[in-house]
Amino acid sequence: MISLNVNVDHIATIRQARGGNEPDPVAAAVICELAGADGIVCHLREDRRHIQDRDVEILRKIVSTKLDLEMAAVEEIINIALRIKPDLVTIVPEKRMELTTEGGLDVAADLPRFSSLVEIMHKGGIKVSFFVEPEIRQIEAVLKTGAEIVELHTGVYANLRDEKKIEEELAKIKSAADFAKSSGLTVVAGHGLNYKNVIDICKIGTIDELSIGHSIISRASLVGLERAVREMLEIIRYSLLTR
């Protein structure tokens, strides 16, 4: 079975649009877990555009599965992670003006810095994942840092419409996942995945987990959050049975 980790950022996005108290991403996390989610993901951005410090603190107390804190490798957020102690942190690139994360982190470009970060997190009892493009060079860099997990950026795949290019990108993701898995990493896929394009990703036999947020929250606005999570889990199970 492929695990499903649900990102609750966009519950907070709706809340922040009015500056009030609802909907609460903490309540959303509870519903996701009750519906069968294997983990909860949230991204504490430097600009606090959606998830707030309060959210992360309470999520750490109530999440009973696994809490994945997405974060940029900056001192303020590093210190928060070390204090709150999520089960793992996923290190992502972050730009102030982007609507959402636009691509993978270039771990290979600053290996000493990221290796030091992994050491710091491990001393705090926190596992580390890096969000990277599905490239062998980046996975080799992740291995050198000592991290246990790699998350492959699927945004390029998700945005493609040409069938040939989709097949090429799927082959690229599969090659990266196979290499990462054979090297001992836990392999996660995420970004832009929805109820249709997730099927072919699930059929890649070396992906352990999925990180999905926007499409589930979008569907939840129409059918409810519990149903939206359960429907995604059903699609994952169906995909595994038919691969």
Out of 43, 94, 133, 153, pick the active-site residue: 43
Out of 10, 50, 70, 151, pick the active-site residue: 70
- Active site (annotated) includes residue 191: yes
Residue 89 CA, chain-centre distance (Å), reads 10
Q: Residue 191: left (phi > 0), alpha (psi -120 to 50), or beta?
A: left
Token pair 């929805």 in the structure block, residue: 194
- Active site (annotated) includes residue 43: yes
Out of 10, 135, 191, 209, pick the active-site residue: 191
CA gap 202, 55 in Å, rounded: 30
Strands (E), the chain: 3-7, 39-43, 67-71, 88-91, 127-132, 149-153, 186-190, 209-212
CA gap 219, 225 in Å, rounded: 8
By annotation, the residues acting in catalysis are: 43, 70, 191
